[in-house]
Structures are given as structure tokens and as C-alpha cells.
Structure 1
């Protein structure tokens, strides 16, 4: 297969009249349709205009919402041979300044410009020296230019992707163009062009997995990327709730989606509300089409029981595992080989092994080119080229991988029992009314749970449901004996969870301790 950039360039040329992007209409704006021909013209115009502001290969920041402008900038930077640094709008000024420090210029759309100005007001010295340009204005001033011809035969760092760390300075993962090539070639061995005929975007484009699945796979297939209406926050941004995306799934009629665990749970809950519908009618109700889309899930564990419930209704969820250091996907269940409860087998270009303590190591053609910056959570690569992921796993005789949890998140109780919190949290998360849950209990006799409650949930009734669930599905050491409830809210999530939805466990523990102390609640912390 040719380089993915060359493939996308060929698609834009040969399918000029086909629809590349649809941004659904909403209260703020009408529907917008962009053809491949228009996409090519605007990407080339942007790259040409950008050339007057920075040298070839320069590092360029991208601060934008999930928009047509974000996609145009991403492709223009790839086609122009630059190093792209996408920055989540949910980042604080300190986090954004850390990632943008090496950038020659910053590109923004309207939402990105507003966020950039907020960061600059909060930390003027950190941002005053970084030139900032509007993507739309650069495109309008770029004129008609010939197609760009970046050298794809030579490997290079094409992106620096943020990944959550343990400090306020997120480490940047340096992504190689040929690494993305190797990854995409492996993914195409388990998918068809028809799968990616119509992809619905639901999470921030700043996440590498969404760039791969929402942009490069559909554009390589000549498919259509469907964007939510202008102003609708993606999952992971403050204010975005999984249940609110169900109507969007039905409206968009996607052939493929990648779902975070929260939306898989919401999907299962919606299916449960129509117990008498057959598969075809259920798919019409959920996805606006008679057959289910290709549904991939990742980012955190999904309860096996939830995936099994959907499978019984004819809706298959293919859980996978990845990390930015491998250009995203490491392993994936497929239609031909799907073992519920696992994260699938390694992709064809990936080798995996376990260390003596169960830590998963990987070696592949898509490994990153190192970090920009450092963090205690950084992965280690040994002299033989094995990347030690920090994740505890099991690999069965057939090669299926099961992720047990993060090595550094392991809870050791007062009785010396080791508990990986992630699988139990995934199980508890399947209980109706639980928006999220974090287990705590280092050095304690039993575990405690911090529970974010969904709208309308009654904490008293929910406590009983969680206790019953734990007794039925979890071992004694995994069950929480104490529950601390708090209503889910965007500000709370922003302070206690990363942009990718993972809990900042030390921050959660401090928050719970303070709350317990202020209310004299019984606790085990």
C-alpha cells in the first residue's frame, strides 16, 4: 500500500466531486458539505499561505474545535511536511503553554482563537511571542496553488501528540509518518472500504486515535466524515455527556464509530429500553440504518457483561487497546476473531510479551520517535526495542490480550492484597446512574469508591444497587465498602480527570478526603 498521505492526495484528485465532510446543521448554523475537490483546494491554499510564515518542517500548533477548519489544517500540515502539535481546547493555560512552547506559529479556528485569547490573558508571558493565525483567513488569502508534493519516501516526525501524565506539563509523543503508515496498513487488514464509507466523529480530534479512525481511514477509503453541529462539544470536553450523543448516532447513520466506554454503556442502556425489537429495528432506532456500524471501543475498559448484552441483540462492539507511543492501536478484536472481555490480538505489525510482573511490552514498526519533555509516567524502551507500557496484562494461549490495569495504579490494601482498580471500575460503571467511578484504598482494609452520579440518580438507591452489583459480580477484595457520591459536573470532571477521561487518582483522593472531612461522612480513606 502506498503512503497514507499519497493515498489521501489521490482520493482528493480522483473523487473531486464526492462528499468528503458533512457538518450537520444545528441551532447555530446550517448543514455544511465539503467535497474532496474543495478540500484539496483549501488544504493546498492553507499550506501555501503558511509557507510565508514559517519554514518547511517547522513545528505548528493547532488550536481548534472539531471543525472543517481542524481537518483542513491537519491535512495541510501533513501535505506541507510540517510537525503538527494539536492542543485540546480543554487544556489549562499552563498545559497549553507547555505544548506550544516549541511552535513557530499557531493555527486557530473561531473557537480556538477564543480559547487561545483566554490562555494568553491567563499567562501573557507564555503566549505573547507565539504568532497566531486564523485558518479561514489564511485559506482565503492563499489563492489557487498547485497540489503539494511532500516527500513521503523519507520518514519524519509529523506530529507531537499530548498524552496524560502525572504533572501539569503533559509529555509530547513524537509520531513518525512511517509509523502511521505501518499502523494503517495493519488496520486495513481487518476492515473494508465500505466500513469507512460514513464515519461519525464523537471525541476530540486532538486524540491520535480519532485522527486515525475518523480522518485517515475514511479519507483513504473515499468515504465521508460526519461532524456534529457547530458548537456541540465532543465527548471528553467539559459539558459533553454520553447519553446526549445517542440522538446524534441515530441522526448520522454511520457505518463506523469509535466509542469511549461511557457511550458503550449509554448505548447498552438504550438497547435495554427496547427489549422487544429485533436487530434490524433496533439498529434503525439506534443508528438510523438497518445494520449496525463497525463499532470499535477503547480508551478504558468496558465491562464484558455490557458488550455481551449488546452482542445478544446483534450489535457487536470490538474492544481494542492502544497508546500514543505506538501511534495509537496495539491490539483489536475483529469480526473474525472477537473474544469478549479481551482487547483482541496484536495487530499484524505488533509483537507483544509480558514481563515477570505481568507488565505488557510491545515492539512494532509504528513505535514513536521519543518524547518531547518528560514525566514520571513515561514509558521505557529497552536496548532490544521493547516498549514497556506500564500496563499489567494477561495473554492467553490463542494470543488474546486482557488488560488488568495500570502498574502504577495498583492498590495494595492493609492486608497485602493487590487490586487493579480498572476492571472493577468498568464493572461498577455498568450500573445505571453511575456517570463515573474511582476506587481508592491504598493501605486501607477495604476499598472506597468515589461515584459521579448521572442526572436524576438517587444516591441512596444507587448505593444499594452498587452493593448488590459488587456482591454478584466482584470478588471480596475488589468490592467497595464505602461510597462517596457527588453529582457529575463539567467543572468537577475538568479538575479530577484528564482530557482523555482518565482519573487523576491523587487529585481524586485529595478531593474525597476534603469532602469527607467537611461533611463528617463515614469513610475508610
Structure 2
């Protein structure tokens, strides 16, 4: 079987004059444009320069913004047979040091270099003397060197990446991703997508997330398509300060044929469609996406309220929700154009088998499972002797095979009345209320639930409280509804202290923050 990186290399040779990457500038025009021939030359040069410094199989850190340099480094590391460790720029020094500890070198672009030096200044002992190398300078050096590194392929299965995934401690788990696992995943995804779908993909979230590497890079490049990057300096969704609604103009400008959206941007898209009630489907797509038809829209990362997806469907915009985890090289299941059941996360991909444990925990067995963790964490998934990965997610599987995620096993709230509440579906529902940036339900051991709400700047909190109460009465069961609300205006500082880099709440930290708020302001409820 041809490995995915070999398919991408073939595109570099066969479609040398076609546009591979567009980096938008801050105006209406395109910024930098890179064709497949240039992309191939620069990746070859970088692979050659790395071969002179690191043997195949070496572990190499990647600290860079969502940039052309990040893409070139990722492809060159795959070509050279290295183990890549991408680190989010939003990480703290302690988190970054934990992931980068085994690396022999670290590759950076300009923004990554600044972030790496800031980490090293915060924790000089943690980073030691690991070399930090400029991607651009290595490309210049490799342009006059041999390209023998490209003979190192991925012919045998190997660990090609270590991907961070959030845990319960300050040391993120490293998930060891197999090259053959990515091949199996991509082969299954292509059963439900066409090359035309990936002619123009808009990147919106950090490349350090494996799902974005798969859908924003490997699928478009295998299709000979174009990857569109936001303007330099524009923070991707998930970074502190990035706001979903602010990306709507970028969606319209980029005219994408495919996007993968986090729940926050699906909500923003639905709200934008609601503000244009008189437009027909074609005109609405022109207004939202700069094209007459909707792109292939996949959604994942956290639950999206079925009502939100339904609102878009009524306007002719299909959102295909899926489910995955890094331990399966990202996607486990996906709704498709042929079979889309709103409210579910679709059926398992062709290479994936699923089953439920006695407590409704979802088990996964597939050809794309990881090769284990680097490090350990109490939140790590367990793989049993028969090869089933127990995800920690609670699910239902209907008679047709559609999976519905009903909560996270370790997030289960048990009230004082002995009722079990999975907070995630109710949180997804509440997020559809205009003015809500994020929400976390609390209530372990309490008679009723409470909610911690991050709001848009300038939101009328009393009016928002009334709207949340109405929403709960209409859409949620009595046990899922919050009885009281604590509000904060969304800010990068709160995001950094109370949420992981991938946007998941640190529930214990949120509970502590709410207790402190209530102690300081007894009437806050």
C-alpha cells in the first residue's frame, strides 16, 4: 500500500505548477502563494538539511505558528522518517518542556522562536541546551545539499508523531501515532469524500491538532488541492483571544470547498444565517461562504447541539458531525452525505469496530489505534488484552449503527438526589444561546445544577440569565437544567486558567473559581 506521504510527493512532481498553499494577507488580495513544485523543493531541502543533523527515527520538536513553514516542516519530517512532536504555542513553559523533553532538536518559525525563548526564560532548567533551529535557514542550507533523505520512506510501520492530548495534570499526555494508522484512517475518510471536496480547504484551528493535520493538509495535498491559511498573525480558534464570530468574514473571503469547524464556529454560522432570514439557499451560501454552494462542513472536537445543526439544515447548509480521539489517529465515526443523522456522530469508519461496555463506555478497535503514550496521566485510555481501547466516553449505538455520545465517564455529575447527569450535551445546547461564549455545568453532590457562563463583551447578564432559563425550560430535562448562573466576560486570561489548549474546561479549576467568586460576592448566583 502506498503511504500517504508518498502520494503527496507524487503531487509535488506531477502538479508542480498548481497552487498548493495560499497565505492570505490583511486585505482582499492573496498574500504568498506556493505551488506544488516549490513546496516539493523546499520540503526536499529541509529534509536534506535535517538528514545532516538527525538520523531517521530521531525525535524532533516543532514549535511554529500556523504557517507555510509549519507545513513544510511537517512534510519534511514525515519524508525523513523522523518522529515529530508538534507543540501548541498556547502551552505554558511547563507543558511545552514536558513534550519537548525527548527531542534532539526543535524546529521553529519566527513566532515559534519567540515563544520558545519565552518558555526558556520562564523555565531555563527545563529546556537545557536543546538546539533550536530556524526552518527557513535550514531550507536555505539544504537547497545546496544532497536530497538523499528522501530515500527514507515510510515503508514499514513506525511511530511518526507524538501528539499532545489534554490530561488532568499540567503534563499533557503524548499520543504516539503510527504511520500505518494514518494510512488506514485516510483510506476510510476517502470513502466518504471526493477530490473535488478538497480543492480548497480553509485552515481555522491549530495545526498541532492531529485532526487538522489530516483534514487541512494530507487530504487537500493528496487531492492536488489548495490549503488556504489566514493572514499572518491571526490567531487560530482555540488560541487565547480568538473569537469564532470573527472568522465568518474569513470564511466568506476564502471561498472554501471544505472546512472542519469547532462547535463555536458552527454556532456562529447558525446565528449568522438566522440574521439573513430572507435569502434563498444559493444567496445564503454566497453571503456566508463566498460561493453558491456550501462547502463540505465537518464538525467535531465537542458536541454541537442538534438544534443548531438542524437550523442550518433547514437553510440548505449541511453539517456532518463526527467523533474521534487522538488515540485512534483522530476520527472514529462520521456522518456522511449519504447517511447523516442529526444528533449523532455518525457510523464508525470502515476500518473501525465499536462496542459498548456494561456501563455504556464506548470501546474502539481499529487499524489506526496509537502505539501507546509517552508518559502517563490518570485520564489515559485503557486498552484491554483483546485490543479494545476504552475511550472514557459514554455512548449509545442505535440499531442502524449510529453512535450518540452522551457524556464523559469521568465528568459524570451525581446529584444529591442520586441522579446521573452527563454535562456535555446540555452544555452544547446552552451554547446555542446568543451571547454565550462557553458554559460549564457544575453540581456534584448538590440538589440542583449551576452553570458557569463566559459571555460576550458587553452582554446584559440579567437578560442573558432569563434567556438561559427559557432555553432550559424548552430544550432540557429538569435534571439537566441549571438553577443558578455565574457570569464572567470571556477573556484570554480566563481561558488560559480554566480551559485546556483544546478548549475543554478544567472542571475542578472552574469549580474552585466559582467558589471563590461566590465567597467574594455572596449574591452572585
TM-score when normalising by structure 2: 0.98
| Contact 1:446/1:481 (<8 A) preserved | yes
| Contact 1:415/1:445 (<8 A) preserved | yes
Distance 2:22 2:255 in 1: 12
Match of 2:37 in 1: 37
Larger deviation, residues 427-436 vs 27-36:
27-36
Per the alignment, in what secondary structure is the counterpart of residue 195 of structure 1?
helix
Q: Decide whether aligned partners of structure 1 residues 28 and 293 sit closer, same or farther in structure 2, where only a CA change above 3 A counts.
A: closer
Distance 2:47 2:330 in 1: 26
1:392 has 2:398 as partner? no
1:196 to 195, 198, 201: 198
1:51 has 2:44 as partner? no
**Deviation at 1:140?**
1.0
**Deviation at 1:54?**
1.8
Match of 2:92 in 1: 92
1:10 has 2:10 as partner? yes
**Deviation at 1:30?**
6.7
| Contact 1:198/1:223 (<8 A) preserved | yes
1:159 to 158, 161, 170: 161
**Deviation at 1:374?**
0.2
Q: How does 1:116-265 map to 2 (within 5 A)?
A: 116-144=116-144, 145-146=146-147, 148-265=150-267
| Contact 2:56/2:152 (<8 A) preserved | no
**Deviation at 1:522?**
4.9
Q: How does 1:314-333 map to 2 (within 5 A)?
A: 314-333=316-335
| Contact 1:28/1:231 (<8 A) preserved | no
Once the two structures are superposed, residues 327-377 of structure 1 have per-residue CA deviations (whole angstroms, 9 ceiling, x without a partner) of: 000000000000000000000000000000000000000000000000000
| Contact 2:28/2:253 (<8 A) preserved | no
* Greater than 6 Å deviation, 4+ residue runs: 27-30
Per the alignment, in what secondary structure is the counterpart of residue 312 of structure 2?
helix
Larger deviation, residues 49-58 vs 394-403:
49-58
| Contact 1:106/1:130 (<8 A) preserved | yes
1:460 has 2:472 as partner? no
**Deviation at 1:454?**
1.1
1:25 has 2:29 as partner? no
Per the alignment, in what secondary structure is the counterpart of residue 309 of structure 1?
helix
Match of 2:443 in 1: 441
Distance 1:373 1:233 in 2: 29
**Deviation at 1:27?**
6.8
1:353 to 341, 352, 355: 355
Count of residue pairs the alignment pairs up: 523
**Deviation at 1:128?**
2.9
Distance 2:2 2:55 in 1: 27
| Contact 2:312/2:319 (<8 A) preserved | yes
Per the alignment, in what secondary structure is the counterpart of residue 494 of structure 1?
helix
Distance 1:268 1:458 in 2: 21
Match of 1:62 in 2: 62
**Deviation at 1:2?**
2.2
Q: How does 1:285-296 map to 2 (within 5 A)?
A: 285-296=287-298
Unaligned stretches of 5+ residues in structure 1: none
Q: How does 1:470-509 map to 2 (within 5 A)?
A: 470-509=472-511
Unaligned stretches of 5+ residues in structure 2: none
TM-score when normalising by structure 1: 0.98
| Contact 2:162/2:175 (<8 A) preserved | yes
Q: How does 1:74-93 map to 2 (within 5 A)?
A: 74-93=74-93
| Contact 1:28/1:230 (<8 A) preserved | no
